[in-house]
Amino acid sequence: MKNILMYSISLAVLLLGASCSNTNKNQQQEPTKTFTGAPGEVKLITLDPGHFHAALVQKVSYPQVSKDVYVYAPGGSDLQEHLKKIEGFNTRPDNPTSWNEIVYTGPDFLEKMLSEKKGNVMVIAGNNSKKTEYIKKTLEAGINVFSDKPMAINTSSFNMLKECFQIAHQKKVLLYDIMTERNEITTILQRELSMIPAIYGSQEKGTPENPAIVTESVHHFFKVVAGKPLTRPTWYFDVNQEGEGIVDVTTHLVDLAQWEAFPEQVIDYTKDIEMVDANRWYTPISLAQFKECTGATTFPDFLKKDIVGDTLRVYANGDILYKLKGVSTKITVVWKYTYPEGGGDTHFSTMRGTKANLIIRQGKEQNYKPELFIETVKGVKTAAYEKELQSSFAGIIAKHPGVELKKIKDGVWQVTVPDKYRVGHEAHFGQVMEHFLQYLKDGKLPAWEEPNMIAKYFVTTKALEMAKAKTQK
């Protein structure tokens, strides 16, 4: 009896020891959930990088972010392109970075990342077909997510995305998408000017026939990034994997409409959004163009569904017409093969106020650089308005030294911007990361960010549903 009792006690001790050991092991694997801003406390995980945006997050260094970055991917050309870009940042002559990429490759890359939990912030930019699912599983593991857009490309993934935000709350982690365009100086100034009644008046409501907010973005498949021709993965041309244009680039444009017209205000998609119309159309891509973009000599089998004759039809274009808190808004995205010499991606934006319109143009006349204009509306007395404009603009100058007003003609002014503010699209990723690092330290996002992300993805995915219903009739 005594021997049995001693055996039982010994077994209990062993089990307790094993339990404690496992507990300690699990505690060691749990990623940090609280942040103080201490050096190196943020540990990045890059999951299956397939888009150059994943690398641009690391174009600069951040004191809070560890130099060790854990990469989990299935292997292949997408990963190699990503690592080449990081190496380029590490070896450039001016302000080189010193990232240490610790890479795991294999078909179980997702499971390996979730079990090892080497980092506390997962960065994802790549194939969008499973992105929402990857985000959900990462949040369930208690890891913060810093995601490239789009986080949802159809109604099904939108519904999953809503679950993701609930999981983030339960796990006390953050989910945030990378809205780089908020850091473009002309967009910042357009937003700030719209908040000055003496300059803008109040926001016009517009009509579906004459929207009060109009934004158009023109992008190109073949382009130069970080000084080199960009190699696109073949899947980028498959709308089932990348998403159609109406749910991809439009994410930025819908975000800007909310961010500029209703700054720091909550948008409830169930009450504040009224969908009116949506359309989609394709960009034709020849085999020669496809080869130039991807390096592939033939169209892969998964694209054959989109080939008519010898031309690939990519549904990269679309427009969305909707009402945002009663303001008629039109968003358009256009994808062309490549840009003219000296050109690049372009952005056009109009906000209509009762006193003036604020217009961003980026065409040939502007040397393909975004320029902001203030144009008085019909009925406004320009002499009196100009005095108010000059007086009120002093606040803009104080906040952004070097920004000036240049009169073009009666009732029209250009807002001139020094080159020091024109940091470029690639630098905007670092600026968004700086904001996210502060949110990690705060332990929360601004109150309006989450509902507005949900509203944004409702607009894009609902628009796709509407546009496809029209073209499939």
| Per-residue pLDDT at 26 exceeds 70 | no
Q: 150: cis peptide before it, omega within 30°?
A: yes
> What's residue 345's pLDDT?
86
Is residue 249 located within the same domain as residue 304? yes
> What's residue 62's pLDDT?
98
The answer to whether 62 and 42 have CB atoms below 8 angstroms apart is yes
Question: Binning pLDDT at 50, 70 and 90, where does residue 423 land?
Answer: very high
**What is the tens place of the pLDDT at every residue in 247-292?**
999 999 999 999 999 999 999 999 999 999 999 999 999 999 999 9
Is residue 287 located within the same domain as residue 411? yes
> What's residue 364's pLDDT?
87
Residue 80 domain-assigned (yes or no): yes
Which is higher by pLDDT, 408 or 424?
Answer: 408
Residue 15 domain-assigned (yes or no): no
- Express the helix, strand and coil content of the chain in percent, nearest 5 each: 45, 25, 30
Structural domains in the chain (count): 2
In whole angstroms, how far apart are CA 189 and each of 210, 266, 302, 404?
Answer: 24, 21, 44, 11
Is residue 173 located within the same domain as residue 285? no
Lookup result for tokens 């907010």: 213
User: 3-class DSSP state for residue 71?
Assistant: strand
How many beta carbons lie within 10 A of that of residue 84, not counting itself? 12
Q: What is the CATH number of the domain that holds 375?
A: 3.30.360.10
Is residue 99 located within the same domain as residue 225? no
Could you please report the per-residue DSSP string of 141-161?
Answer: TT-EEEEPSPS-SSHHHHHHH
Question: Binning pLDDT at 50, 70 and 90, where does residue 8 land?
Answer: very low
Residue 16 domain-assigned (yes or no): no
Q: Provide the phi-psi class of 220: left if phi over 0, else alpha when psi is between -120 and 50, else beta.
A: beta
Of 177, 210, 242, the one marking the end of a domain is 177
Q: CB-based contacts of 226: which residues, under 8 Å, 6+ apart?
A: 52, 59, 85, 88, 426
> What's residue 339's pLDDT?
87
Distance CA 296, CA 346 (A): 28
Residue 12 domain-assigned (yes or no): no
Q: What is the CATH number of the domain that holds 165?
A: 3.40.50.720
Is residue 308 located within the same domain as residue 383? yes
Is residue 139 located within the same domain as residue 190? no
| Per-residue pLDDT at 116 exceeds 80 | yes
Q: Is 60 exposed, middle or buried, given 0-12, 13-18 or 19+ CB atoms closer than 10 A?
A: middle
Q: Is 344 exposed, middle or buried, given 0-12, 13-18 or 19+ CB atoms closer than 10 A?
A: middle
Residue 24 domain-assigned (yes or no): no
How many beta carbons lie within 10 A of that of residue 246, not counting itself? 32
Residue 206 domain-assigned (yes or no): yes
Is residue 157 located within the same domain as residue 238? no
Of 155, 177, 199, the one marking the end of a domain is 177
The answer to whether 118 and 44 have CB atoms below 8 angstroms apart is no
| Per-residue pLDDT at 468 exceeds 80 | yes
Degrees to nearest 5, angle at CA 265 with 465 and 334? 40
User: Tokens in use for 217?
Assistant: 């973005």
Distance CA 7, CA 1 (A): 10
> What's residue 51's pLDDT?
87
Task: Give 219's strand partners.
Answer: 335
| Per-residue pLDDT at 336 exceeds 70 | yes
**What is the tens place of the pLDDT at every residue in 193-212?**
999 999 999 999 999 999 99
Of 177, 210, 229, the one marking the end of a domain is 177
Residue 172 domain-assigned (yes or no): yes
In whole angstroms, how far apart are CA 337 and each of 221, 313, 391?
Answer: 5, 12, 45
> What's residue 30's pLDDT?
58
User: 3-class DSSP state for residue 329?
Assistant: strand
**What is the tens place of the pLDDT at every residue in 158-200?**
999 999 999 999 999 999 999 999 999 999 999 999 999 999 9
> What's residue 226's pLDDT?
65
Which of 123-127, 338-342, 412-416, 442-446 is predicted with the least confidence, judged by mean pLDDT? 338-342
Mean pLDDT of 398-424: 96
Determine the structural domain holding residue 36 and report its residue range.
29-177
> What's residue 32's pLDDT?
59
> What's residue 5's pLDDT?
38
Is residue 205 located within the same domain as residue 270? yes
| Strand pairing category for 327-336 and 144-147 | unpaired
* Mean pLDDT (the chain, rounded): 92
Which is higher by pLDDT, 33 or 436?
Answer: 436
**What is the tens place of the pLDDT at every residue in 93-108?**
999 999 999 999 999 9
Mean pLDDT of 320-336: 98
